[in-house]
Amino acid sequence: MTARTPAEILAESRRNTSLLKRQRVLNTIRRMLDDSEPISFAAVARAANVSTWLVYAEGVREHVQAAMQRQEQTPVTAAVQGRSAGATSLHTDLAMAREEIKELRAERDQLRDAMRQQLGHQLDQISNRKLTERITELTEANRKFEHEVAQLRPLADHVQELERDLAAARTSLRQMIREGNQHKPT
């Protein structure tokens, strides 16, 4: 048995998912026909919970179109039985649908804003944590440097003392050389 590569496993998984979604679309079309629900590409996609791209794909599109044609050819029994909607009813339904759309858009905007604020807060927390860690690191490094400077300070004082002694010794040596040059017999 040869080992499958991750790419092969992923391809097989995608094929299986695609087949399942296509079967779900076909089942949805049958159910919508049985329930006399109006069939359109968008309605089938929404009812099957798939993308509209899939219902327009080759191999699925033909089934949707056939179902739409089948519905067009069936006689409308609702109007004959006195169940047709009047113009006022349709206008009311349209107004209600528009109002619901407004509410859904407002809710979507609120949820989007809340999500942005939450993500911003999370980013701030991440940034603050990193900044706090960096400040702690820098504070510790500063303490180490201050400790080293405190240890070097006596040495710096000793170096200055030695430099003063060296300067005094040079001055003294110059004087001795001058005096020596003045007492030389010519």
Q: pLDDT tens digit string along 110-163?
A: 999 999 999 888 877 777 777 788 889 999 999 999 999 888 888 888 899 999
Structural domain containing residue 120: 100-186
Q: Give domain status of residue 85, yes or no.
A: no
pLDDT given at position 156: 85
Question: What digits encode the pLDDT tens for the residues 98-108?
Answer: 999 999 999 99
Q: Give domain status of residue 92, yes or no.
A: no
Backbone angles phi, psi at 81, to 5 degrees: -85, 5
How many domains is the chain partitioned into structurally? 2
> CA-CA distance, 141 to 21, in Å (whole number)?
60
Backbone angles phi, psi at 182, to 5 degrees: -75, -30
Query: Is residue 25 pLDDT above 90, yes or no?
Result: yes
Contact 81, 75 (CB under 8 A): no
Q: Are residues 69 and 104 in the same domain?
A: no
Q: Report if pTM > 0.85.
A: no
Region 28-56: mean pLDDT is 92
Res. 183 pLDDT band, cuts 50 70 90: confident
> CA-CA distance, 73 to 88, in Å (whole number)?
27
Q: Are residues 184 and 105 in the same domain?
A: yes
> CA-CA distance, 114 to 92, in Å (whole number)?
33
Residues whose CB is less than 8 angstroms from the CB of residue 162 and which lie 6 or more positions away in sequence, other chains included = none
Q: Give domain status of residue 2, yes or no.
A: no
Q: Higher-confidence residue: 120 or 85?
A: 120
Query: Is residue 87 pLDDT above 80, yes or no?
Result: no
Q: Give domain status of residue 146, yes or no.
A: yes
pLDDT given at position 71: 86
Least confident residue range of 37-46, 75-84, 155-164: 75-84
Q: Give domain status of residue 40, yes or no.
A: yes
Q: Are residues 111 and 50 in the same domain?
A: no
What's the alpha-carbon Rg for the chain, to the nearest Å? 44
Q: Are residues 63 and 122 in the same domain?
A: no
Q: Are residues 107 and 56 in the same domain?
A: no
